[in-house]
Amino acid sequence: MEKLTEQTERRSMVRSCAWIFSRWCKRDKRLETPLVNYTSLFREPEPVFYSRLGHKSESFHEIERMLIRLDEKLNALFSFLLRDKIATLMEGPFLGNIGGAGIKFGTKKAPPDVGEVINIEAYLDGNPPLLFQAEVEVLRVEKGDDGVNYIAGRFVRIAPRDQEQIVKFVFQQKREEIRATRCTG
């Protein structure tokens, strides 16, 4: 059990650079109209097609692959349609860092104090797109050359499914970086 916990912690510590749309508020306030409510389809499909024996039959495997492709296309379509709403409700995109343990994002608002816990909603434009809410403890605030305040913090409370999606997003980004370096040299 300890080995599994250690492995999960190591996976959560891997970070990736990403363009992040975000918005935040103090812990005691609520974000108005959370976009997470509109994007229930921004999830990876679950493997639900199994035979009675516990393994996938070939016909169910084909159906599952078709549904996964359809889900990917729907995610891309919803992402495209939601971008306008995201651009009006959220700040960004600012280049930040994301990992399973925390996030670093930009804001033009006056930053919170170090040690304060804030509510955030963040959107990562990837394949699939990722939209999540979390409570974050502010560890560091940096003023960028561009006038943007960069807030770095660790997740205090986040849905386990969202945290797993973040880890998958980060590892997908890392795979793409590796492919790009192989192609160039």
The whole-angstrom separation of Cα 16 and Cα 6 is: 20
Token pair for 18: 């990403």
Is the model's pTM score more than 0.75?
no
How do the domains of the chain map onto residue ranges?
2-29+38-184
The whole-angstrom separation of Cα 64 and Cα 58 is: 10
Query: Above 70 in pLDDT, residue 89?
Result: yes
Token pair for 83: 């971008």
Unique residue bearing structure tokens 């510590």? 13
Q: Quickly count: other Cβ atoms within 10 Å of residue 112's Cβ.
A: 21
The whole-angstrom separation of Cα 30 and Cα 33 is: 9
Is-contact 122 142, C-beta < 8 A? no
pLDDT-based confidence at 129, cuts 50/70/90? confident
Instruction: Please give the pLDDT value at position 55.
Output: 57
pLDDT-based confidence at 49, cuts 50/70/90? very low
Instruction: Please give the pLDDT value at position 41.
Output: 46
| Residues paired with residue 157 on neighbouring β-strands, in sequence order | 135
Amino acid residing at 137: E
- For the domain made up of 2-29+38-184, the CATH class stated in words is mainly beta
